[in-house]
Structures are given as structure tokens and as C-alpha cells.
Copies of this chain bind each other. A is one copy, B any other.
Amino acid sequence: MGAPKQKWTAEEEAALKAGVLKHGTGKWRTILMDPEFSAVLRLRSNVDLKDKWRNINVTAIWGSRKKAKIALKRRPLTPKREENAKALSTVVQTNEEVVDAKPLAFASGTPGNGGPKDLLARLYTSDICTSCFAELGCIF
């Protein structure tokens, strides 16, 4: 049809990550509207952002969505939402560009440690975990 399939460039992916850092997950339209990212992401829709973010996260953890599904089928424990689940993100934040930053890495340790606060505060809340947790069926 019209779109021959648009592979995500490294620049676009970086902009997406930076956008999530700034606005949080689930704010795809907001990220898209942000003049800081709208230039780079101008060819993408809010749904594209959401889908890409899903791919990035799921890939980082399970290798792929399919593997995630398989992994989930193997343990249909589906516990109630545990509040001691936290997400950590090893972010390499240069001046104004998120360079890499593996999206998520898990740690069940004490949540109230003294890390970099302001910028990452959002990440420590359930905010950034939402999409991931939802995708994973909240097994953490």
C-alpha cells in the first residue's frame, strides 16, 4: 500500500527515549507535540511511538514479544499488583541527548535509595513500568 515500512533510525529511537524521560510513558501525543522531538519524529504517529516503545522494552527483557508471551504462558501466576516492584534504568544522560540507556533493568532491592532524583524520579514510579508491566501481565 502506501507505506513501504519505515524502519526506525537511531536518531528517532533516541528521541523517543528522551521523550519518555521527559514526559513519561503513555504520553505519546505529548511527546510528539514537544517541539524538542517533533522534528525528528515528524513522520511517526503516537501509535508508532507506543509500538516502538513496546518493542524496545520487550526486546530488552525477553528478546521479543513472542518470547514474552511464551514466558508468560509458562507461569500463569498472575498475582495481584505488588507494590514493591520497582524499575531501574541505567541512563547515560549527556547534556541534552539520551545516548543509549537500556530501557529497563530490574532490581527488587530497596526502592528508596539515593540516586539521581529529578530527571529519573518519574522512572522510579510505576509510570515508566506501566507499559512494560501491562505487557508482561504484571508478573513483577
Taking Cβ atoms with an 8 Å cutoff, the residues of A that contact B are 1-2, 4-5, 26, 81, 126-127, 130, 133-134, 138
- Complex alpha-carbon distance, A81 and B2, angstroms: 9
A-B contact pairs, 11 of them (CB 8 A): A1-B26, A1-B126, A1-B127, A1-B130, A2-B81, A2-B126, A4-B130, A4-B133, A4-B134, A4-B138, A5-B134
Copies in the complex: 2
**A1: which B residues are within 8 A, CB to CB?**
26, 126-127, 130
Q: Which single residue of chain B is at the shortest CB-CB distance from A26?
A: B1
Q: Which single residue of chain B is at the shortest CB-CB distance from A25?
A: B1
**A134: which B residues are within 8 A, CB to CB?**
4-5
- Complex alpha-carbon distance, A93 and B138, angstroms: 40
